[in-house]
Amino acid sequence: MIPLFKPKVHLEKAMELWKEACESGWIGLGPRVAEFEAALADYFGIAKNRVICTANGTAALHLAVCGLGLPRGWTVATTPITFVSTNHVLLYEHLKPHFVDVNHQTGCMDHRSLLHAIAHNRISAVMYVHLGGNTIDFSEINNLCADAEIPLIEDCAHAMGQSYHWRRRVGNSKNVCCFSFHAVKNLTCGEGGCLVLPESADDAPYRQLRWMGIDQDTISRSKSGYKWEYDVPWVGYKYHMSDMAACMGLANLPHLNAENERRVQIANQYADAFDVDFAGGSCHFLPALFENRDEVAAHLTKEGIGCGMHYKRNDQYPMYKAFSHEDLEGADWYEKRELTLPLHCHLTDEMVLRIIAAASGIGKIAK
């Protein structure tokens, strides 16, 4: 069986770091988390205080939404084609999602649909998803939000290592960016995430919110003898990363660029075979589009090839049906045709050719 996703962990280095962490006594929020934050900041090319590691990508998204400080009931434009975390965090803060349409080829938010939403609704912020790690549609959305002076949160769960049009890395932005280090992401910590703040943002409130609203974490209070005095200025969350997760991230980060290059090689083969447009860089997944998607999926499964679909329209789930949306023709078209093929660093060239042959033999490419 060729799996759809398969994590890549550099186990020898991770085990060395885990051993050191266990022997030190710091396995929760401790020095390895700070070290990983600094390593990520260096990777993004930004100041280290701008990176805040979290327990998972959803926690990062929630903290980003908290940072907007929007009153209950205000409206946030968002995409229906995403993992539900993107939109659930809006409900956590009692905000109203307004679903805008997507580019039917990429699944990413369509700037014309967003422009219409802004013109006819009181949009207070925008949630944008770099679906599959694709930045091909992002510039127009970013410029539109900047011109309208509307805050933009970038959901970068799929975009670790991607760049904005081959310049700055995704994360080195004037927006708040949220990453996931889930088990099958390009950079995995087993579970984890991070929030990357704009240069002008104050990181202190976010760090306090991720640690129950406490103004000093344990390691800060232990630098010159343990101190138990602290204040709790916020009602916060247990959203911090552990040192054990950070150890895995530190072991895997040095290999990210090489592994993303391999992903791009595979994605290019898929793109040529199935006529797909994408901006390569992270290539977490590449949406292949078939008129007979379900038939192709059944055939691949029979051939021992894993496949999936990313994602079903969020606006059709019960908790979102009451909220407004634009005309979602692109999302409807995409949802009925998208098929996710295996794309990970355990694939050999022979496996990739086998996948392409199996899908090409029966698939009717949609455009």
Are 236 and 214 a contacting pair, CB within 8 Å? yes
Counting every residue written for the chain, the total comes to 367
Residues 238 and 105 in one domain: yes
Residue at 187 is within a domain = yes
Give the pLDDT confidence of 223-254 residue by residue, as tens digits: 666 667 788 888 999 999 999 999 999 999 99
In total, how many domains does the chain have? Answer: 2
**pLDDT given for residue 278 in this prediction:** 86
Which residue do the tokens 């949630």 mark?
Answer: 127
CATH of the domain at 177: 3.40.640.10
Residues 155 and 216 in one domain: yes
Residue at 171 is within a domain = yes
Residues 336 and 227 in one domain: no
Report pTM: 0.96
What is the amino acid identity at position 115? L
Residues 291 and 305 in one domain: yes
**What is the C-alpha separation between 146 and 366, in angstroms, rounded?**
34
Query: Residue 328: CB partners within 8 Å, gap ≥ 6?
Result: 80, 99, 101, 102, 313, 315
Give phi and psi for 209, each to the nearest 5: -65, -35
**pLDDT given for residue 137 in this prediction:** 85
CATH of the domain at 267: 3.90.1150.10
Mean pLDDT of the chain: 95
DSSP string, 11-38: HHHHHHHHHHHHHHT--SSSHHHHHHHH
Nearest to 212 by CA among 25, 29, 71, 72: 29
Are 331 and 260 a contacting pair, CB within 8 Å? no
Residues 104 and 134 in one domain: yes
Residues 126 and 239 in one domain: yes
What is the amino acid identity at position 357? A
Residue that terminates a domain, selected from 203, 220, 255: 255
Query: Residue 344: CB partners within 8 Å, gap ≥ 6?
Result: 3, 5, 6, 8, 184, 263
CA quadruple 1, 85, 279, 200: dihedral, nearest 10 = -140
**314-328: burial string, b at 16+ Cβ within 10 Å, e else:** bbeeeebeebebbeb
Tokens of residue 7, six digits: 């994590």
Q: Quick check: bond before 164 cis, omega within 30?
A: no
Give the pLDDT confidence of 288-331 residue by residue, as tens digits: 999 999 999 999 999 999 999 999 999 999 999 999 999 999 99
Residue that terminates a domain, selected from 255, 274, 307: 255
Cα separation values, 41 from 106, 121, 169, 220, 295, Å: 29, 37, 11, 20, 44
Residues of the chain with pLDDT under 50: none
Write out the residue range of the structural domain in which residue 95 sits. Answer: 11-255
Residues 209 and 294 in one domain: no
Residues 216 and 264 in one domain: no
Tokens of residue 54, six digits: 């979290």
**pLDDT given for residue 225 in this prediction:** 60
Residues 346 and 218 in one domain: no
Residues 340 and 198 in one domain: no
Residues 191 and 80 in one domain: yes
